[in-house]
Chains A and B, each alone.
Chain A
Amino acid sequence: MVVGSVSRGCQVVVIGAGPGGYVAAIRLAQLGKDVILVEKEARLGGVCLNVGCIPSKALIHVADLAHEVLGAEDMGLTVSSLAIDLPKMVEWKDGIVDRLTSGVAFLCEKNGVEVVQGAAEFVSDRSLTVSSEDGRFEIEFEQAVIATGSRPMALEGFEHDGERIIGSTEALSLQAVPEKLVIIGAGYIGLELGSVYAKLGSQVSIVEFLPKVAPDLDPEVGKALTRQLKKLGVKLHLSHRAESFEAGDPSVVVARGPKDDELRLEADVVLMTVGRVPNSEGLGLEAAGIQIDDKGFITVDDRMRTSAPGIYAIGDVTGGALLAHKAYQEAKVAAEVIAGEPAAFDNVVPAVIYTDPEVAWVGLGEEEAKEQGFNVVTGTFPFKASGRAMSLDATDGFVKAVADADTKQLLGVVAVGRGVSEFIGEATLALEMGAFLEDVALTIHPHPTMSEAFQEAVEAALGRAVHMVNKS
């Protein structure tokens, strides 16, 4: 194609086919819009499907399985030997990714979304160019949705080479388990992947700048995670700033501690998980008059409108919690607003960390609720008092309910434990419905399940838990 020779038109163009973009495109098509979905990569699905949520959870599951089997002697299960075939594991994981990404392509096609491959760049607030190996063409649109996502943040002194210094993407496709793995950053990605490789046999060290893990969550969460990492033999170096990398055999990571002390950690592989930055460069945002904040995130309102009329942004590129399910909801809001419906993002956003045990939370934490001026009452139920947890040999963790002591309205839930990711959705529904503690206490939870702990925690907040001794 010759530059500028072809100009296409559509009602709405969506940039980026991750969880935000493909959902926006499909929803727009369902609402009768003529949609073009532009994706830079060859495969749809974005980070989540290709190199994020899904593949990491696949590997976490296998690692958990191996770890559980090896630790099942007390339960009468002895395994004489267990071979870990990492290439096979990665192949299985890639199969899942293939199924899901082609599933997205199928859904787009069936909903009448036209997918084009290439990098988009705004020329004005009503047109953009799409460039790929095949050439370049222009799209004129009435509305646009930016869903370009985020990418790992780089750290000076640790230049990514994909072999000795890797990111989460490569960590999901390693062909051999590194003997010594150093992880920089104890965010949720670092903690999840650190647990995986510790279970697969690596000696894992995590270097974290902050003085504790999960600093924004209930202090009990950090304690539970720290305890489990210790059990896995993971060395946690908190309040340490990673300073430099010395290549060699093995290589060395140099970090500086709180008393200006130097820490030297040998590493076969260094995994960088220090945070994520928005993909807002090279998009021609200025040409369209779209404002970004000082960290590069696109500024939007609760209807996902940017500063440029007719242009919307959703998902990681807008900041806040960088979570696929938040992007899903924002995508639907943007699509409906474009279609003239009265949608707005006014939701609570649940979050999950797939460590072992899992951590899940939604709504306000105890401290947060106090800071907002609530008179707070809490109830905590430990899994060590749960029959289901015992039968799973997974008694670590707890469920804690946070409520307004005056009105008894549920304000938030935090849970640590096996499978808690599966019932945080229930707590989210309770919050969205404006449930009071009584509502949850009077809801029958199936026995025996881990979800019973939510009901018990709420009853504890009411001072009437049955399966534990209530605080007087």
Chain B
Amino acid sequence: MVSPPAKTKGFMMAFVFNFPDVGEGIHEGRVVEWLVAEGDTVVEDQALVKVETDKAVVELPSPHSGTVLRLHAAADADILVGDPLVTIGEAGEKVPEDFAPVAEAAPAPALQPAEIEAPGPAVGSRRPLATPRTRSLARKLGVDLKSVQGSGSGGRITDEDVERAAEGGSPAAPTPPVGTVAATADGEVERVPITHLRKIIAGAMRTAKHTAAHVTHVDEADVTDLVAHYRRAKPVIEERTGVRFTLLPLFIKALVATLQKHPIFNASVDEERGEILYKKYYNIGVAVDTPEGLIVPVIRDADRKDMVELAAEVADKAERARNRQLGLDELKGGSCTITNIGPLGGVFATPIINVPELAIVGLHAIKERPAVVDGEIVIRKMMYLSVSFDHRYIDGAEGARFMSDMVRLVSEPMLLIARL
């Protein structure tokens, strides 16, 4: 913890708490809600503010005890690391606005996950990289430069980029405020702000689609035996452990066993140094559909946990993901991801890789279908499994071998058990 600021010559006693670097890769956030008001007395470690980052909503604790003299950012404001958040000092003390901000660095406080409120629009504070002429053109064509991807040197936005953006969208004059329903020539349109999380997802998806050479291999598994074993074991396990047992842990185990045989699917790439990073750990991301959008908590060391532990952990993390209560460390460090699309229907889907990972496995609906067994048409529980992988580093044949190994494991439960 920081020692209280030194008292020098009657001024500069107040402490300016800047938005700290709360974790790897976090540069910006949004003030969700202030938990204190100007004039409030706070004690060290008391939660001051809820801030939404690209990973979670966190509460920032106060580094000092004192009186809140000034809140520097309004609710809904976008903040960058280093931006002043709050000035804490002695009651009645004047905020020394005439002096340069007190540059005392606060260490990153421990994160305290909190629940989410409805997020508002997020706007970057950096100037778009465009010349005055291009900026003028953007105004003329009604293009918001913050939403334009520059194609020029170093990401510079060119006149052509602006023109392209203008053709894509309507060259609207002043855009009406968000949250309003407005009549247009084509009918009524409601403008709703894009949430911070949605922007993060959009950025990640664009990066993934833009960089990885996506290809999807789909295979079919006969899971009749697996489901039969599962159905018999489920009530027993649930009664003995109190954990709601699902099929997902079985598939996580099958995935881990397959990854152990095909390590490239459990790797990432350091393109700058031209190296492949084979992970010796099996941290499996589990895609969770939440009301706010897709969140992927990570089940660490899935190879060293039994199925009941996996079931309990998946249930807990999915629940907390829906409530946006996950800590940043629970969302980082995955080596491969699994997404269970089955309950939502469909034949099969082609998910996008969670970069920098190289593969994502899709689980699709289990359906009774006619199958041919020993020359006879019988009704079996059939399921499509998919693996979407980065074709830059993984060849199609490897994808096929990977999938057929995983299919074999889930089709023949004894093989899966043998690998445990």
Residue A76 is within 8 A (CB to CB) of chain B in the complex: no
CA A49 to CA B107, docked complex, whole Å: 51
What's the minimum C-beta distance from A95 to chain B, rounded to whole angstroms? Answer: 36
Task: Collect the chain A residues with CB atoms within 8 Å of residue B154's CB.
Answer: 407-409, 434, 436
Among A216, A258, A434, contact of B129 (Cβ-Cβ < 8 Å): A434
Q: Mark A365-380, 1 if CB is under 8 A from B, else 0.
A: 0010011110000000
Stretch at the interface among B54-62, B96-104, B364-372, B405-413: B96-104
Taking CB as reference atom, which chain A residue is nearest B145? A346
Stretch at the interface among B75-83, B262-270, B288-296, B318-326: B75-83
What's the minimum C-beta distance from B283 to chain A, rounded to whole angstroms? Answer: 28
Q: Could you tell me which residues of chain A, from 330 to 383, have a CB within 8 Å of some CB in chain B?
A: 342-344, 346-347, 367, 370-373
Q: Mark B240-261, 1 if CB is under 8 A from A, else 0.
A: 0000000000000000000000
Contact A434 B156 (CB under 8 A): yes
Task: Collect the chain B residues with CB atoms within 8 Å of residue A372's CB.
Answer: 80, 82-83, 125-126
Contact B101 A346 (CB under 8 A): no
What's the minimum C-beta distance from B107 to chain A, rounded to whole angstroms? Answer: 17
In the complex where A373-B80, A407-B154 touch, is A343 in contact with B136 (Cβ < 8 A)?
yes
What's the minimum C-beta distance from A445 to chain B, rounded to whole angstroms? Answer: 21
What's the minimum C-beta distance from A409 to chain B, rounded to whole angstroms? Answer: 7
Task: Collect the chain B residues with CB atoms within 8 Å of residue A258's CB.
Answer: 9-10
Contact B139 A342 (CB under 8 A): yes
Task: Collect the chain B residues with CB atoms within 8 Å of residue A434's CB.
Answer: 129-131, 154, 156
Q: Mark B146-159, 1 if CB is under 8 A from A, else 0.
A: 00000001111000
Task: Collect the chain A residues with CB atoms within 8 Å of residue B25's CB.
Answer: none
Among A215, A373, A407, A408, contact of B99 (Cβ-Cβ < 8 Å): A215
Taking CB as reference atom, which chain A residue is nearest B128? A434
What's the minimum C-beta distance from A221 to chain B, rounded to whole angstroms? Answer: 13
Task: Collect the chain A residues with CB atoms within 8 Å of residue B136's CB.
Answer: 342-343
Taking CB as reference atom, which chain B residue is nearest A258? B9
Taking CB as reference atom, which chain A residue is nearest B156? A434
In the complex where A216-B100, A434-B130 touch, is A343 in contact with B139 (Cβ < 8 A)?
yes
Contact B135 A409 (CB under 8 A): no
CA A409 to CA B136, docked complex, whole Å: 21
Taking CB as reference atom, which chain A residue is nearest B98? A210
CA A367 to CA B84, docked complex, whole Å: 13
Contact B82 A347 (CB under 8 A): no
Taking CB as reference atom, which chain A residue is nearest B131? A433
Task: Collect the chain A residues with CB atoms within 8 Å of residue B139's CB.
Answer: 342-344
Task: Collect the chain A residues with CB atoms within 8 Å of residue B10's CB.
Answer: 258
Residue B392 is within 8 A (CB to CB) of chain A in the complex: no
CA A407 to CA B156, docked complex, whole Å: 11
Residue B279 is within 8 A (CB to CB) of chain A in the complex: no
* Interface of A toward B, CB cutoff 8 Å: 210-211, 215-216, 258, 342-344, 346-347, 367, 370-373, 407-409, 432-434, 436
Residue B179 is within 8 A (CB to CB) of chain A in the complex: no
Q: Would you give 10 A-B contacts (Cβ < 8 Å), ordered by A?
A: A210-B99, A346-B132, A367-B103, A372-B80, A372-B83, A373-B80, A373-B82, A432-B132, A433-B131, A433-B132
Task: Collect the chain A residues with CB atoms within 8 Å of residue B140's CB.
Answer: 342
Task: Collect the chain A residues with CB atoms within 8 Å of residue B80's CB.
Answer: 372-373
Taking CB as reference atom, which chain B residue is nearest A369? B82
Contact A432 B131 (CB under 8 A): yes
Contact B83 A373 (CB under 8 A): yes
Please list the 9 inter-chain residue pairs (A to B) with the smallest Cβ-Cβ separation, ordered nearest first.
A373-B80, A342-B139, A434-B129, A342-B140, A373-B81, A373-B82, A433-B131, A371-B82, A432-B132
In the complex where A343-B139, A344-B139, A436-B154 touch, is A371 in contact with B132 (Cβ < 8 A)?
no
Task: Collect the chain A residues with CB atoms within 8 Å of residue B103's CB.
Answer: 367
CA A370 to CA B132, docked complex, whole Å: 25
CA A436 to CA B156, docked complex, whole Å: 10
Interface size for B (C-beta < 8 A) is 30
Q: Mark B73-116, 1 if CB is under 8 A from A, else 0.
A: 00000001111100000000000001111010000000000000
Residue B222 is within 8 A (CB to CB) of chain A in the complex: no
In the complex where A434-B156, A436-B154 touch, is A367 in contact with B100 (Cβ < 8 A)?
yes
Residue B390 is within 8 A (CB to CB) of chain A in the complex: no
In the complex where A215-B100, A342-B139, A342-B140 touch, is A371 in contact with B131 (Cβ < 8 A)?
no
Residue B332 is within 8 A (CB to CB) of chain A in the complex: no
Taking CB as reference atom, which chain A residue is nearest B155? A407
CA A343 to CA B136, docked complex, whole Å: 7
CA A347 to CA B127, docked complex, whole Å: 10
Taking CB as reference atom, which chain B residue is nearest A210? B98
CA A432 to CA B128, docked complex, whole Å: 11
Taking CB as reference atom, which chain A residue is nearest B132? A432
In the complex where A346-B135, A432-B131 touch, is A373 in contact with B28 (Cβ < 8 A)?
yes
Residue B380 is within 8 A (CB to CB) of chain A in the complex: no
Task: Collect the chain A residues with CB atoms within 8 Å of residue B81's CB.
Answer: 373
Among B27, B132, B155, contact of A373 (Cβ-Cβ < 8 Å): B27
CA A347 to CA B140, docked complex, whole Å: 17
Taking CB as reference atom, which chain B residue is nearest A341? B140
Taking CB as reference atom, which chain A residue is nearest B157? A434
CA A344 to CA B156, docked complex, whole Å: 20
Task: Collect the chain B residues with CB atoms within 8 Å of residue A370's CB.
Answer: 82
What's the minimum C-beta distance from B159 to chain A, rounded to whole angstroms? Answer: 13
CA A433 to CA B10, docked complex, whole Å: 45
What's the minimum C-beta distance from B77 to chain A, rounded to whole angstroms? Answer: 14
Task: Collect the chain A residues with CB atoms within 8 Å of residue B9's CB.
Answer: 258
CA A68 to CA B155, docked complex, whole Å: 48
CA A215 to CA B96, docked complex, whole Å: 13
Taking CB as reference atom, which chain A residue is nearest B138? A342
Taking CB as reference atom, which chain A residue is nearest B153? A436
Task: Collect the chain A residues with CB atoms within 8 Å of residue B155's CB.
Answer: 407
Task: Collect the chain B residues with CB atoms within 8 Å of residue A367's CB.
Answer: 100, 103
Taking CB as reference atom, which chain A residue is nearest B173? A342
Task: Collect the chain A residues with CB atoms within 8 Å of residue B127's CB.
Answer: 346
CA A408 to CA B153, docked complex, whole Å: 12
What's the minimum C-beta distance from A257 to chain B, rounded to whole angstroms? Answer: 11
What's the minimum C-beta distance from A87 to chain B, rounded to whole angstroms? Answer: 39
In the complex where A342-B136, A434-B130 touch, is A371 in contact with B83 (Cβ < 8 A)?
yes
Taking CB as reference atom, which chain B residue is nearest A259? B9
Q: Could you tell me which residues of chain B, from 28 to 86, have a CB within 8 Å of some CB in chain A?
A: 28, 80-84
CA A407 to CA B99, docked complex, whole Å: 31
Taking CB as reference atom, which chain B residue is nearest A216? B100
What's the minimum C-beta distance from B145 to chain A, rounded to whole angstroms? Answer: 9
CA A370 to CA B126, docked complex, whole Å: 13
Taking CB as reference atom, which chain B residue is nearest A336? B136
CA A347 to CA B139, docked complex, whole Å: 14
Contact B101 A371 (CB under 8 A): yes
CA A370 to CA B140, docked complex, whole Å: 33
Taking CB as reference atom, which chain B residue is nearest A404? B126
CA A372 to CA B19, docked complex, whole Å: 11
CA A370 to CA B82, docked complex, whole Å: 7
Task: Collect the chain B residues with CB atoms within 8 Å of residue A215's CB.
Answer: 98-100
Task: Collect the chain B residues with CB atoms within 8 Å of residue A216's CB.
Answer: 100
Q: Determine which residue in B80, B139, B155 has the highest number of CB atoms from chain A within 10 A of its CB, and name it.
A: B139
Task: Collect the chain A residues with CB atoms within 8 Å of residue B131's CB.
Answer: 432-434
CA A432 to CA B98, docked complex, whole Å: 29
